[in-house]
Amino acid sequence: MSVSSLASRPRLTKAQRREEITGWLFISPIVLGLLLWTLFPMIASLALSFTDFKMVDTPKWVGTRNYVRMFTRDPDFYQALRVTFSFVAMQLPVGLAVALAGALLLNSGVQGMTVFRTYFYLPSVVPVVATSLVWSWMLNLDFGLVNQLLKAVGLAPVNFFGNPKTALPTLAVMSWFGVGQTMVIYLAGLLNIPPSLYEAAEIDGAGRTRKFISITLPMLSPTLFYTIIMGLIRSFQYFTQAFVLTSGGPMKTTYFYNLMIYNVGFAFLQMGYASALAWFLLVIILILTMVVFRSSSAWVYYESEMRK
């Protein structure tokens, strides 16, 4: 802005200045919170990732040694990456499909839609630790409800969390029961699709499958795009259920990346190395998010663009 434009700017009256100050006071909590609890910790963690910081002494600058250790001298790093990517591949596509199926069911005119919507959404507002403990009881090898039902029909009980082959798939299946929030988002998108499109398709003789492929999916694609991005970010930060139920076992088959960051930082007090691990996770999520954004031009359709 030039000096002349600053000079020609009209001076604020007392009332306008008071209103401006009031506005800044109202937004100051969120601004201070963003600076103190988000921006500053991020900058601090980036600086700490280049140090050897034990949390009980002064950080010592080590350059890129933490990143070299990550890629060359830490087998747990690659194990945590394998577990996390495997979980995302199992959980995210099926979870989105389950949420979409539930939304389609609720959008089909079923009686008591409000009640069902509440039932489906309820698990997503219950604290994660509480739901994890409920699952721990239901899937317990000795007295769990699921294994009692298996015994009742003559089947052998399953050690869901103690078997390396079933622990990770069990956590993925558990996550599918918490898709109520995503389902409600899909339902809002479905209710926003103009009924006239379906009426025109019926006149042309389109069946349910053709209407779903040609109308529902394209019109719902912006919502799908949003849920894929959010689900991707959320899945890569999976932590609480594994921490409560398995602690990374058995045989580190549920040793998630976030669980590794927690152990390195707070159990082993290697906060510098934990910061380096956290920043690499940010890079992974950022790259995958950019890939989804780049691909969106090929499959995301906006109603405003269709009218052109």
Q: Does 4 score more than 80 pLDDT?
A: no
pLDDT surpassing 50 at residue 1? no
Domain spans, the chain? 75-306
Rounded mean pLDDT, 256-272: 96
Predicted confidence (pLDDT) at residue 306 exceeds the cutoff of 70: no
Residue 11: other Cβ atoms inside 10 A: 6
- d(CA 82, CA 210) in angstroms, rounded, equals 38
Whole-structure pTM value: 0.88
Q: What is the DSSP letter of 173?
A: H
Q: Quick: pLDDT tens for 194-207.
A: 999 999 999 988 88
Which of the two residues, 164 and 3, has the higher pLDDT score?
164
> pLDDT by residue (tens digit) across 126-135?
899 999 999 9
Exposure string of 146-171, with b = 16+ CB inside 10 Å and e = fewer, is bbeeeeeeeeebbbbbeeeebbbbbb
pLDDT band at 304 (very low <50, low <70, confident <90, very high): low
How far is the C-alpha of 223 from the C-alpha of 233, rounded, in Å? 16
Match domain 75-306 to its CATH number in 3.40.50.720, 1.10.1740.10, 2.40.10.340, 1.10.3720.10.
1.10.3720.10
Residue 8: pLDDT band by 50, 70, 90 thresholds?
low
